[in-house]
Amino acid sequence: MIIIMKHGATAAQIANVAARVEQMGCQTHLSQGEERTIIGVIGNGRPIDRDGIDRMSGVERTVSVLRPFKLASREFHPQDTVFSINDIVIGGEQIVMMAGPCTVESREQLLETAEAVKAAGAHFLRGGAFKPRTSPYSFQGLGEEGLRLLAETREKTGLPVITEVMSPEQVPLVSTYADILQVGARNMQNYALLHAVGEAQRPVMLKRGMMSTIEELLMSAEYILSHGNNRIMLCERGIRTFETYTR
């Protein structure tokens, strides 16, 4: 972390801030510019109370040097994340396509769609059994019956299945039927759910919240990683802006 002192910060203020940092077990490194004093903080691996320092007298602002995520960083894991599901390599050179209906509606609809997307080159079948709906009056999906239809269609077509899981208690059930667990954009920061899929034995597709930053997306991946699941795909689904002309 770097602490930028205000223009005109007094020697006492600077000493005070440095003392506080050292008290936290960190080393400091002073750099006196013409206009500002900068205090470099050399950490000891433990989190620093940045808000507390931001509020100290004479401090203009602090700048974080390190990213807040660790397991999700290239520094910790320099290689690409590559894993296989039924011999389909995810994260490798080849682009993997997952396609299917928004919602599983019936055996016929699902089978017909699955065969069509397979013929068109898809590697996975997607389809929602539990649907996150903005309206409580919209069709909420077929639930477990939808999961059964997905599994049945996998038998017939050979396409592995990805489907959404919406709450921690659904994780065991959905894991029984699905090859990949999908966490939807609205649940990107549903930490109880991230915890649960982090302990599941299935790969996870994590969708970016529609107004979440990339850093927040990676922090949500960090949650899953920190609970032991490192087979994660990130899905960039676009963000919300002021423009409504296109959807």
**Residues at the site binding a copy of itself, with contacts judged by CB under 8 A:** 2, 4, 7-8, 29, 31-36, 38, 40, 42-43, 45, 47, 63, 65-66, 68-70, 75, 132-138, 166-170, 186-187, 189-193, 209-216, 219, 222-223, 226-227, 239-246
Q: Please, which residue, 41 or 159, has the CB nearer to a copy of itself?
A: 41
Q: Please, which residue, 30 or 97, has the CB nearer to a copy of itself?
A: 30
Rounded least distance, CB 4 to a copy of itself, Å: 6
Q: Please, which residue, 156 or 199, has the CB nearer to a copy of itself?
A: 199
Contact 168, 132 (CB under 8 A): no
Rounded least distance, CB 122 to a copy of itself, Å: 22
Q: Please, which residue, 40 or 91, has the CB nearer to a copy of itself?
A: 40
In 39-142, alpha helices (H): 50-54, 107-119
Pairwise CA distance, residues 172 & 39, whole Å: 50
In the chain, alpha helices (H): 11-23, 50-54, 107-119, 144-157, 171-177, 191-198, 214-226
| Helix axes of 191-198 and 214-226: crossing angle, nearest 10 degrees | 50
Rounded least distance, CB 181 to a copy of itself, Å: 15
Q: Please, which residue, 71 or 88, has the CB nearer to a copy of itself?
A: 71
Contact 189, 212 (CB under 8 A): yes
Q: Which two tokens stand for residue 59?
A: 């401090």
Rounded least distance, CB 102 to a copy of itself, Å: 10
Rounded least distance, CB 117 to a copy of itself, Å: 19
**Residue 154 C-beta-side C-alpha neighbours within 13 Å:** 21
CA angle (47, 48, 50) in 5-degree steps: 130
Q: Please, which residue, 91 or 168, has the CB nearer to a copy of itself?
A: 168
Rounded least distance, CB 27 to a copy of itself, Å: 9
Rounded least distance, CB 38 to a copy of itself, Å: 6
Which of 58, 4, 47 shows the shortest CA–CA distance to 24? 47
Alpha carbon of 183 to those of 3, 35, 43, 137, 216: distances in Å? 37, 48, 34, 22, 14
Q: Please, which residue, 70 or 107, has the CB nearer to a copy of itself?
A: 70
Phi, psi of 122, deg, nearest 5: -70, 150
